Amino acid sequence: MIKQILFATLILINLSSYCQSDYPKKAIIDNDTIVMITPGQVTKLNLAFNDLDRFKMKSDSLSSLISLFEQHDSLKDKVIQNQRLQMINYEKQGSINEEIILSLDKEVKKQKRYRNIGFGTSVLLLILLIVK
């Protein structure tokens, strides 16, 4: 019995080694070498190619989304830069306005002083005229 099992094992090992040496089978048709595969392998390859096509489409759509986001980001940066420039201009305008207000305040004080001097001299002249 052991001899029979050992004999069958040796035959199966030899047979399996001969079968594996010829796989994948190749055929030459019109000077072209063709690799023969099983229908199950064809199905697996077709599914892999379908997945590849689907992933390429997803990759293309994601690439277009990325480019749109990059455009949006550059526009956002331009808007931020414009707002910063506006803030700088508003600050400059504010300081100019403060200088104008200070100069107008000085002018108003001068005019009040001249008016007070004029009023004082007119009162003094009036008193001198009355006293004489």
Question: What is the C-alpha separation between 130 and 132, in angstroms, rounded?
Answer: 6
Mean pLDDT for the stretch of residues 8-26? 64
CA angle 63, 65, 67 (to 5 degrees): 70
Which pLDDT tens digit goes with each residue over 36-83? 788 888 899 899 999 999 999 999 999 999 999 999 999 999 999 999
Residue 79 confidence (pLDDT): 96
| pLDDT score of 87 more than 80 | yes
Instruction: Quote the tokens at residue 84.
Output: 């910063």
Q: What is the helix (H) or strand (E) element at residue 77, kind and residue range?
A: helix 39-131
Is 28 within 8 Å of 34 (Cβ atoms)? Answer: yes
Residue 82 confidence (pLDDT): 96
Domain ranges of the chain: 2-105
